[in-house]
Amino acid sequence: MMRSPTFRTLTIPVLALALLAGGAGVALAGYEEGVAAFKAGRYDQAAREFQAFVDQRPGIFEGYYMLGQSLTRLNRSREALSHLQEALKLKPDHVGVQLILGKTYLDVGRYSDAAGLLGKINAGSLPKAQQGALYQMLAMALEKGGDEEGAAAQLGQAARVNPEDAEIQFQYGILALKIGDTDRAIAALAKATQLDSKDAAKQRAYAQALVRKGRTTTGTAKIATYEKAVVAGKVVAAGNPSYDDLMLLAGAQLGAKQYDGALSTLQRAASKNAGDWLPQFYLGQAYTQKGQFASAESSLRQALDKASSSSDKMKIWQNLGLVYEKQKKYDDSIAAYRQANDSASVQRVQENKDTAEYNKAVEAEAAEIKRLQEEQERIKEELQALPGGPPPGF
């Protein structure tokens, strides 16, 4: 199952503090000290200085703005909210406070408020670094609020303005795949793996997207898609892979018709999780494709012993029915298809059995006729060889 995007921690660049330090009424006791402490990373001191400032001068935007920022840096987001909201009241169009308040809404789980505020910002008015941050925050707010398609659109914008950011491409690919936009997901994840080829998580997501695409593709494109998934899957399965990583690679290999590789990978997977039926099930499929029906039957029987749910067992019986059918073991095939509740296959195999038995009877009758004819010819030849020739009328 694909996981939801893990949005990285977003840091909003602090807008030029020099601008905040200037202006009438700002150069008061506490404010400049607060700015200096903030710049030096002493956020506790900065918060105290700005708190004293707003207590003395409650109507000044810069005091609330910097107090809110200081508190967010101290992870005191709920305390910061009221101060940032007050700053927004004083300057409703100030992009800096809109960005920081929007992020603070995200931090405290007020996703609808975050989306509403951040959605009003004109992204084109921001530097590219802040454009990407805005789109990411909007994506997070929308995704957490249940609008995954809207979130994907915002992440797509973030990916567009940050084409060399592997993490943003990865986040976009994951969410695009989650909403079923497989083509866009593959494109974004391919870009992410190009930018960060050693990250197993990115390669894993890329392989998963390709496998999903392969299931809905036909012809040569299907094989090509699975072959790309094999390449990514091998990166994931290098070193000491997990059971899931091996199963992902095996699925890609099966789709690419690389059956020998799939057999090897599935055997490794089975050794890591001996109790699971899936490796044996897929081993059965790989052996079937190679025409090794005895091995296929053995693997599927093992899968049947390990499976617990009735639906899983029915899948295995279905494949066993096919293995028996290919070997013309009609009675075994019919029994297996009945276990799978596949009446259509039961009927088909029964018809094939009847046809085979009819053909066998016809062949036997033809063979008997031929035998009688040969016997008659033999007797005729023997009679002709007798002195005086064959009897009259023979």
pLDDT band of residue 369 (cuts 50, 70, 90) is confident
Measured between its terminal Cα atoms, the distance across the chain in Å is 84
**Which comes out higher in pLDDT, residue 313 or 353?**
313
pLDDT of 18 higher than 50: no
Burial class (CB in 10 A: 0-12, 13-18, 19+), 224: middle
Tell me the per-residue pLDDT of 249-296, one tens digit each, with 9 for 90 and over.
999 999 999 999 999 999 999 999 999 999 999 999 999 999 999 999
Decide: pTM greater than 0.75: yes
| Contacts with 328 (C-beta within 8 Å, 6 or more apart), sequence order | 356
Write out the two tokens for 166: 């592997």
The CA–CA distances, whole Å, from 363 to 37, 69, 194, 221 equal: 101, 93, 64, 45
* DSSP states along 20-39: HH-STTTSSTTHHHHHHHHH
Q: Over 80: is that where the pLDDT of 206 sits?
A: yes
**Contacts for 35 with CB less than 8 Å, ≥ 6 apart:** 17, 20, 21, 46, 66
Pair 38, 70: CB distance under 8 Å: yes
State pLDDT tens for residues 41-76.
999 999 999 999 999 988 999 999 999 999 999 999
* Interval 21-33 mean pLDDT: 60
Instruction: Tell me the per-residue pLDDT of 298-340, one tens digit each, with 9 for 90 and over.
Output: 999 999 999 999 999 999 999 999 999 999 999 999 999 999 9
In this prediction, residues 156-164 reach a mean pLDDT of: 94
Alpha helices, DSSP H, located in 147-181:
148-161, 166-178
Average pLDDT across the chain, whole number? 89
**Nearest residue to 139 via CA among 84, 193, 187, 162:** 162
Structural tokens at position 303: 């899968």
Cα–Cα distance for residue pair 309/316, rounded to 1 Å:
11
What residues contact 368, with CB distance under 8 A and at least 6 apart?
Answer: none
Q: How many CB atoms lie within 10 A of CB 194?
A: 13
Q: What is the DSSP letter of 240?
A: S
Residue 201 has a pLDDT of 93
At residue 14, does pLDDT exceed 60?
no
User: 3-class DSSP state for residue 13?
Assistant: coil
> What is d(CA 110, CA 77) in angstroms, rounded to the nearest whole number?
11
The answer to whether 185 and 174 have CB atoms below 8 angstroms apart is yes
Question: What distance in Å separates the CA atoms of residue 286 and residue 303, rounded to the nearest whole number?
Answer: 14
SS3 14: coil
Distance CA 64, CA 57 (A): 10
Query: pLDDT tens, 71-122?
Result: 999 999 999 999 999 999 999 999 999 999 999 999 999 999 999 999 999 9
Cβ contact 161:131 at 8 Å = yes
